[in-house]
Chain A
Amino acid sequence: GENVEQHPSTLSVQEGDSAVIKCTYSDSASNYFPWYKQELGKGPQLIIDIRSNVGEKKDQRIAVTLNKTAKHFSLHITETQPEDSAVYFCAASNAGGSYIPTFGRGTSLIVHP
């Protein structure tokens, strides 16, 4: 089955700095890679996703890159703000086949004012 590794487990940055979270996956059939943000006391919520037919996607301060050959994808947050502090999860699934998404173990991002 799919195995998703996520690093780092904790990331501490100063407000205004950039933050990068990296994930690797094992199943070459995976073709859908979402990122979820979980704020304290809430359920995870999708913030950006990428499909295997593109290498990069941006949405304001957030971007995701995908390297299919190396089987890794990354979340980039620029100009971080205190409200970006949360736990971030990556996931991988084969959106055209088996439904089950496999999640990484999460990264706790702390943005210091």
Chain B
Amino acid sequence: EAQVTQNPRYLITVTGKKLTVTCSQNMNHEYMSWYRQDPGLGLRQIYYSMNVEVTDKGDVPEGYKVSRKEKRNFPLILESPSPNQTSLYFCASSVPPGLAGNEQFFGPGTRLTVL
């Protein structure tokens, strides 16, 4: 089954404790992204990657890191989480943009609470 998986699905942590949220896709997509979803703000892009070893900042990259060492994986790293990073996070993947558009395939989400 074609899918994007994220782990963990739920995480409660404390300020300053480094954490990693993993994301994996099995559709051989070149493009991968991370979004955060907050009430009233919709989906905002944190980072995206166009291929292995190619990453770039989205709209709200502060406080986050990413890496793309393999095509299928795109982990999101919070080196020193703060309470304002409490949010619902989604990973997404897609083919490169082109005439067919670039439908995003989203994972199930990770709900993060930073105390």
Contacts and interface: CB of A to CB of B under 8 A. Distances in A.
A99 B40 contact: no
Helix, strand, loop or mixed for chain B's interface? Answer: loop
A99 B45 CA distance: 11
Interface residues of A, number: 27
Interface string B57-101: 010000000000000000000000000000000101000111111
Interface residues of B, number: 27
Contacts of A94: 97
A100 B48 contact: yes
B42 A104 contact: yes
B42 A95 contact: no
A22 interface: no
Contact of B97 (A45, A89, A93): A93
Interface in A87-113: 89, 93-101, 103-106
A103 B36 CA distance: 11
A43 B109 contact: yes
B99 A96 contact: yes
Given A43-B109, A44-B90, A89-B42, A95 B97 contact: yes
B31 A49 contact: no
Contacts of B106: 36, 43-45
The listed residue with most A CB atoms (<10 A of its CB), out of B4, B45, B101, B106, is B101
Contact of A34 (B41, B44, B58, B103): B103
Contacts of B90: 43-44
Contacts of B100: 95
Interface of A: 6, 9, 32, 34, 36, 41-46, 49, 51, 89, 93-101, 103-106
Interface of B: 4, 31, 35, 40-45, 48, 50, 58, 90, 92, 96-104, 106-109
